[in-house]
Amino acid sequence: MRKSHFTNPHIENLRRSIWDVILWKTGCYDDPHPKLSPPAGFTYPATPKALRRGQPTAVWIGHSTYLIEMDDLSILTDPVWDNYCSPIPLKALRRISEPPISLSDLPPIDIVLISHNHYDHLDAKTVAILHRFHPQIQWIVPEGLSRWFKKRGIQNVIEIPWWGEVNLQKCKITSVPCQHFSGRTLWDQNKTHWNGYVLETAHKRLYFTGDTGYNGKDFKEIGQRFSKMDLSLIPIGTYVPKKFMQTVHICPQEAVQIHQDVNSQFSLGMHWNTFRLSDEPDDRPPYDLYLAMREKKLPFETFLPIDIGTYVNF
């Protein structure tokens, strides 16, 4: 029997009402010490190594969209190519960084991982174009979300509950917990679930956190169930004001904690520099990531805030 509403097991109140949004926008949730732009001249103290042909690659398209190519598979995460992450074109939600690859120039896509149904992660226009160009795509989605695809004539969809697995020809995909919520209208809140994913091939293990807040249980359990991650895609943006954002979005310090919890050998930042969804300056996430990595005394080259369009081996 399908659940009527999904919940987060480790937190009771996510503060996601319209009233909370009004309180945020009127300054009631403002941090006492606002985040400022990083010091003049700051650059993150590590950059990607020279690209090696024939090795697995990841390229950041923007926000939570990555194109991963490994072991003869092409994978997209939360593909959003539209100029707006909203049902109507609101100027405040207009894209600030253009996708580096057009939809028509993508390689044949085998798998698309969808974390949840918010407009900045599930874009109807992008999905329709991908389905037209790449009808072979296997769509992997959370519980309750396959109906949305089937209404649009897309049948090749698999729902996976938390800790559920699906074995495809060249990989195994496991849905893993994250801390978030769902809804595309005021009337469908939390009626579909939210997932992270671990995708394993013969040679590599990829972890896509989805959109998430931090808790001290889920990510440690993910780390216990999987010995290590070869590549983790972890949000580093949309975290100010803390009082409003923290339950559903991680800050760079929490991103680094997830990086450690899951024993990630190499992590890349996402969920920043594409849409203005929070109050931190657009250039602040890499600096806060630097501070968090420095505090933990971790090698900077193991967690990078790459530029959109940058190809990286892993």
Give the pLDDT mean for 9-29.
86
Q: What is the pLDDT of residue 2?
A: 59
Q: What is the pLDDT of residue 247?
A: 95
Q: What is the pLDDT of residue 19?
A: 85
Which strand (E) or helix (H) includes residue 289?
A: helix 284-296
Cross-strand partners of 66: 60
Q: Is 60 exceeded by the pLDDT of residue 166?
A: yes
187 DSSP 8-state letter: T
Which whole-number Å values give the CA distances from 54 to 34, 157, 255, 314, in the listed order? 44, 30, 29, 11
The residue with tokens 């009337």 is 187
The mean predicted confidence, pLDDT, of the chain is 96
29-70 pLDDT tens trace: 999 888 999 999 999 999 999 999 999 999 999 999 999 999
Residue 17 pLDDT grade (very low, low, confident, very high; cuts 50, 70, 90): confident
Give the pLDDT mean for 207-211.
98
CA 281 to chain centre: 19
Q: What percent of the chain has pLDDT over 90?
A: 93
Query: What SS3 class is residue 295?
Result: helix
Contacts of 273 (CB under 8 A, 6+ apart): 62, 96, 97, 237, 282, 285, 308
Q: What is the pLDDT of residue 305?
A: 98
245-267 pLDDT tens trace: 999 999 999 999 999 999 999 99
The per-residue DSSP string of 60-104 comes to EEETTEEEEEETTEEEEES---SSBSSSS--GGGB-SS--SS-GG
Which strand (E) or helix (H) includes residue 267?
A: strand 267-270
88-125 pLDDT tens trace: 999 999 999 999 999 999 999 999 999 999 999 999 99
CA distance 56 to 36: 36
Q: Structural domain boundaries of the chain?
A: 52-313
Domain covering 52-313, topology: Metallo-beta-lactamase; Chain A (3.60.15)
Question: φ, ψ for residue 209 (rounded to 5)?
Answer: -70, -20
Give the pLDDT mean for 205-221.
98
CA distance 101 to 208: 20
Q: Nearest 10 degrees: CA dihedral of 179, 98, 70, 238? A: -20
CA distance 61 to 98: 8
Contact indicator for 251, 234 with CB cutoff of 8 Å: no
Q: What is the pLDDT of residue 225?
A: 98
Q: What is the pLDDT of residue 1?
A: 43
Which whole-number Å values give the CA distances from 287 to 13, 116, 273, 293, in the listed order? 30, 28, 13, 10
Q: What is the pLDDT of residue 132?
A: 98
Q: Is 50 exceeded by the pLDDT of residue 215?
A: yes
Token code pair at residue 78: 């939360």
Q: What is the pLDDT of residue 210?
A: 98
Contacts of 36 (CB under 8 A, 6+ apart): 281, 284
Contacts of 126 (CB under 8 A, 6+ apart): 79, 80, 81, 82, 103
**E strands within 123-248?**
138-141, 157-159, 165-167, 172-176, 196-200, 205-208, 231-235
